[in-house]
Amino acid sequence: MVFRHSLRIFIVITIVSGYTFLSYYYHRGALTVNQFLVASITALLLVISIIILLKSIQQKVATPNFNLSWIVHALPSIVFILTGVDVYLYKHLSIYSVLSLITIFIILTLSKRDLDIAVFGTATMVMIIAVLYSIYMPSFGNDTWRDAIQALQIVERGGLRDLTVFHTAYPFPLVSLLYAVHSIVTDMDTIWSSNVLGVLYILLLTLWIYLLTKKLNTEHHRVANLLALTTPLIFVWSVWFIPQTYALLIVLPLLFLKLHIIIVMILTLALVFGHGGVALWTLGIFAVLFLFMEMLNAKASTHTFLQRLSIKLKLFFVIFSVYVTYTVILMVLKGAVTNVFEAVAAFLSGERILIATPPIQAQAPITSILGVIPIAILVTLGLVRMLEENDVLLRLLVFISLAGLAVAYVGAVAFPALDLPRYLGLGSTTLLAILSPQAFEALTRRGKLGASYAYALLLLAILSFGFAGPLMPENPYTANPYPPWSISGLITYSEAQELRNLAPTLCCNNFLIDWRAGSYLRYAAYLWSQSRYRGFYDYNYSCTFIYAGSFDLLVTPEYLRNFNGSFILRVRALHMPEAYSPTMSKAIDYEMMHRSLVYNSNNFVILLYIRR
């Protein structure tokens, strides 16, 4: 009790001092309004949670628990029909999609069966994805195009030699090989193989979360999956499959389950070859847990998630050491770790490291924070778990996850180009979701006030996810496209067909095009082109394609005046905030009157720019 009281005092002091520190940085201009607002909401939720925890533990309050199996089974079909109505009426997802999604998650929250969210919640989201694939040409991600193009080259070459697409961070392109194998077996295009694996990712992740929360002997298993499905940082990769998500599916059983040594070896090899960064993060978790377990002289048998930790650590270290020794991944990881320390140092000094950042950036509206609020809720429940957990090692695992999220936030503020929320935040957020049910239960044991607050947090997560609309492009009732990890500017099938028709005429010039249309063009018409910074070069057609929106290339009227080549404007891409400045919509009419108009249709405009 004395330790727990001291811990609470320490955490309160940390919250107050941290928020004071951030307030000072905000007034200095080091934080944007949205970043400071996220920090303020998080601090408020943390303080309220601590106040509620000061109440003595009471008899468990009866929580909503209804037998809704008669309606739960119909939920995926209902959302499919309502999203179809939206598409029929508005040609994109709209108000019916938002309201049906929110209503369905609320129903699943009240359902008696914990497995319902894992199965029917995932099925509901898959229905929305299916509707999106009927409107827009996949893939919806950026890295996915690189891996799909590489996989298609592997299929045509029959191996890994003489590929023109590669990434130094993935010396052994395991995900691309998965696409290639799936494409050969199913006779699908590699881009559709990536979509299948994305859906499998979210299905397997929710099942893993359900099984692991049961393994940890916690109640309210539905809370973990509900928070995972409503957190854009976790869910968006179902339509944007990346090596990190593949590696994450391996980390979870490797960390929490007692496995045979042969299975441990296979999973470790798959993880290390799949993503070196996630492998290093996992190795760090293993090392810290093992060190504290030895210091505390804890018996592994009393900690289900630490079974065979010593063997896992030694085997992981050997395989990882051999891998980094004989590949270039060591230099990549060394540079990444150095950048993380630079980001932290820059944040502490109130500076920002800007690499290839455009001089003019559109300020995202306040509603963009809706995509981050579920993470703030996970941080709140993580803090509750730390305060209420009796197991020191589980408390340490929560602390590691919170620390990872803190560094990810620091990176997003001080060094945006690192994309630390994805590299450090994804795994940390998933671990917090797995560990959240017991924190939820601790709140429900603080009387009606605590139970009401606990369910209010879930409702806040559902509403934030619904109105953030990370998977609802063009939906005027959501904050899309401004929240982080939301998809926008997707290519329609008619646009894709027109791009294929235009491809043979695009030759011997520089072409400026948005990154989505450019990625599709490369996949469909310039398969063996060479990767370049912010685009690619094709030797056969002697043309260079520059991607608007790639590596923070924000196209403005001023940028176009200094551009030499052809500007391929996809009209719908003007709503991509990462690609075109808000002034482009008004400037394009002027440009069409004063530039050589090469091509004009409902979907595309091609203008010729000659710098003098």
Instruction: Kindly write down the DSSP assignment for every residue of 552-600, as one continuous string.
Output: G--B-HHHHHT--EEEEEEGGGGG-TTTB-TTHHHHHHHHHHHSEEEEE
Contacts of 458 (CB under 8 A, 6+ apart): 109, 223, 226, 227, 440
One-character DSSP codes across 73-109: TTHHHHHHHHHHHHHHHHSS--HHHHHHHHHHHHHHH
One-character DSSP codes across 159-176: SSTT-S---TT-SS-HHH
What is the predicted pLDDT for the residue at 479? 94
What is the predicted pLDDT for the residue at 103? 95
Token pair recorded at residue 230: 């409503």
Q: In the 3-class helix/strand/coil scheme, how is 396-426 assigned residue by residue?
A: HHHHHHHHHHHHHHHHHHHCHHHCHHHHHHH
Instruction: For 455-473, write each residue's pLDDT tens digit.
Output: 999 999 999 999 999 999 9
Contacts of 406 (CB under 8 A, 6+ apart): none
Where do we find the tokens 């009866």?
Answer: 62
Size (the chain), residues: 612
Instruction: For 101-156, write each residue's pLDDT tens digit.
Output: 999 999 999 887 778 888 999 999 999 999 999 999 998 988 899 999 999 999 99
Among 167, 163, 168, 138, smallest CA distance to 153 is for 163
Among 463, 458, 371, smallest CA distance to 421 is for 371
Cβ atoms of 79 and 101 within 8 Å: the answer is yes
Q: Which residues of the chain have pLDDT under 50?
A: 301, 356-361
The C-alpha atoms of residue 255 and residue 286 are separated, in whole angstroms, by 8
DSSP β-bridge partners for residue 548: 514
The C-alpha atoms of residue 312 and residue 254 are separated, in whole angstroms, by 8
What is the predicted pLDDT for the residue at 359? 42
